[in-house]
Chains A and B, each alone.
Chain A
Amino acid sequence: GAGVSQSPRYKVAKRGQDVALRCDPISGHVSLFWYQQALGQGPEFLTYFQNEAQLDKSGLPSDRFFAERPEGSVSTLKIQRTQQEDSAVYLCASSLPGRGQNSPLHFGNGTRLTVT
């Protein structure tokens, strides 16, 4: 399909395990965002890329979280030494270049991470 693709759809990790979440944005979308959504909450911003450049990582909750987009397309969000509070849905979104009304976000289905 032509939408944003995320994998895996579900991930169960034991506390202390490292995980890697993948996002494949819509082709041609320059901007890529990662969000964390806890149950009953709105998506919380984690980080933002424009092509391969990570322009904002102010939302990453700790240095255990790392994101990359080395070729300006696929992005990976890595969480090291997972903790129970990391359990959430991780949403990836992409948008066209430019700003404003012409750049709504298109979301993937998300990865539901459960840390046991």
Chain B
Amino acid sequence: RKEVEQDPGPFNVPEGATVAFNCTYSNSASQSFFWYRQDCRKEPKLLMSVYSSGNEDGRFTAQLNRASQYISLLIRDSKLSDSATYLCVVNDEGRDDKIIFGKGTRLHILP
């Protein structure tokens, strides 16, 4: 089983719709979780951290389910500018802070 798994997509979603995707991780001892966004031919950039109680940043909501070992990202009222690849990131602090990326989920917002 891969350490961090994501549905690669692409998710083709009309503008204004709500879209959600999940990410599963294999190491139950993982402590820190993030969502990064990567635009084509650009470097990844932090979108948001994921807290145990769930957290929201504008149109974006992140949640963590430790029992099932997955995190989720929900985007409401999607914009054309949300088109990107969303990378799930897990910090395996039990292994000297090794930070593992998923392969990413591609999102296309359609006009």
Question: Which residues of A does B touch, CB under 8 Å?
Answer: 31, 33, 35, 41-45, 48, 50, 55-56, 58, 91, 99-101, 103-110
Contact = CB atoms under 8 A, between A and B. Distances in A.
Nearest to A44: B101
Residue among B44, B89, B96 with the highest chain A CB neighbour number at 10 A = B44
Contacts of B31: 99-100
Contact of B96 (A48, A101, A106, A110): A48
B71 interface: no
A99 B93 contact: yes
B43 A104 contact: no
Contact of A107 (B32, B43, B96): B43
B101 A107 contact: no
A75 to B, nearest CB: 16
B49 A45 contact: no
A55 B96 CA distance: 7
A100 B103 contact: no
A50 to B, nearest CB: 8
Nearest to B4: A42
Contacts of A41: 103-104
Interface string B63-84: 0000000000000000000000
Given A41-B103, A42-B104, A104 B34 contact: yes
Given A42-B87, A48-B98, A99-B31, 8 more contacts: A42-B102, A50-B97, A56-B95, A101-B32, A101-B51, A103-B32, A105-B46, A110-B43
11 contacts: A42-B6, A42-B104, A43-B87, A56-B95, A99-B91, A100-B31, A101-B49, A104-B34, A104-B46, A104-B49, A105-B99
Interface in B35-57: 36, 42-46, 49, 51
Interface in B4-42: 6, 31-32, 34, 36, 42
Contacts of A43: 44, 87, 101
A90 to B, nearest CB: 11
B44 A45 contact: no
